[in-house]
């Protein structure tokens, strides 16, 4: 089984390549932006046709949500054009494509959990570009799984957990948005979920292709997430004092891109079809919070 991972240096990509390296029966092709420009039609076709992977996991993405409001062309090139080129090449060689997407494809104004069947209505350029990428994958590759996730964090890259721990060293008090809700999701758990699907494909099990939601539980606000991070960090002696936290409404923390107020994803479908349970982010942080101190 030969697997191509694009975006191998991102949060999910790093976790994927680490886990795949432990699989003796799998040949891993790890590609970063220097190895493969996914926006280059001829480069994508040549690379995939030369390597002929059985499964492609597209973890490459433009994720600078606010900068995307100004860098529209670049965001669409990476998040929409790139997935389309990968999907077309995957279709040509009969490969299965696993593509990572986002909660930002939704408006965020629903009451309750977002299901895969809910109508997308992105409110930002980033969300629009990711939705365009989903649609390109659906139209271009028959054997596709689109995994929407949310609030990704890991030991690598920039993310909320690392930001909070850094701020705790220099701030006695912090104001955190308290009216946006979602499920924090550990990148390592996303990688594990993707590998469960890889195993199902490799075993030639019946696969229901399409869109799946995967994120963490319990659902919380950013304020509640920060509160939990600091409680764990103090308990594990990573920080000496917990900053005083104040919840604020979104309008008091304006950003160029509009964030969904509700990013809570229903993960029942992926559990039903693949036996994949939601990520337990509290357990992850309790186990490895020291890995975020850098």
**CB hemisphere CA count around 21 (13 angstroms):** 8
Closest CA to 250 of 238, 242, 262, 239: 262
Q: Residues 6 or more apart from 100 whose CB is under 8 A from it?
A: 12, 57, 58, 59, 61, 146, 147, 149, 190
Are 132 and 138 in contact, with CB atoms under 8 Å apart?
Answer: no
Catalytic residue among 62, 104, 114, 126: 126
Catalytic (active site) residue 126: yes
Cβ atoms of 276 and 194 closer than 8 Å:
no
User: In whole angstroms, what is the distance from residue 232 CA to residue 17 CA?
Assistant: 28
Q: Which value, in Å, is the radius of gyration of the alpha carbons in the chain?
A: 19
User: If 0-12 CB within 10 Å is exposed, 13-18 middle and 19+ buried, where does residue 54 land?
Assistant: middle
- Cite the active site residues: 126
């Amino acid at each position: 089984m030969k697997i191509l991972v694009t975006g191998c240096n991102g949060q999910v990509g790093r976790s994927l390549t680490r886990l795949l390296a432990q699989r003796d029966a799998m040949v891993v092709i790890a590609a970063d932006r220097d190895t493969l420009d996914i926006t280059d039609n001829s480069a994508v076709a040549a690379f995939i046709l030369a390597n002929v992977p059985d499964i492609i996991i597209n973890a490459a993405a433009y994720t600078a949500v606010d900068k995307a409001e100004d860098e529209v062309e670049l965001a669409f090139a990476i998040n929409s054009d790139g997935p389309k080129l990968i999907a077309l090449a995957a279709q040509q060689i009969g490969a299965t494509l696993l593509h990572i997407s986002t909660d930002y494809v939704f408006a965020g104004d629903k009451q309750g959990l977002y299901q895969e069947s809910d109508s997308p209505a992105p409110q930002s350029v980033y969300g629009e570009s990711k939705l365009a990428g989903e649609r390109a994958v659906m139209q271009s590759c028959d054997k596709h799984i689109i995994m929407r996730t949310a609030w990704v964090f890991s030991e690598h890259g920039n993310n909320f957990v690392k930001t909070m721990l850094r701020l705790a060293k220099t701030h006695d008090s912090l104001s955190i948005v308290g009216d946006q809700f979602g499920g924090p999701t550990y990148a390592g758990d996303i990688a594990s979920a993707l590998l469960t699907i890889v195993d199902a494909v490799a075993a030639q099990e019946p696969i229901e292709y399409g869109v799946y939601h995967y994120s963490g539980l319990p659902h919380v606000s950013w304020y509640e997430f920060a509160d939990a991070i600091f409680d764990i960090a103090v308990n594990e002696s990573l920080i000496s004092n917990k900053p005083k936290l104040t919840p604020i409404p979104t309008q008091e923390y304006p950003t160029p891109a509009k964030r969904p107020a509700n990013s809570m994803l229903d993960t029942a479908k992926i559990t039903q079809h693949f036996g994949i349970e939601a990520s337990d982010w509290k357990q992850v942080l309790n186990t490895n919070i020291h890995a975020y101190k850098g």
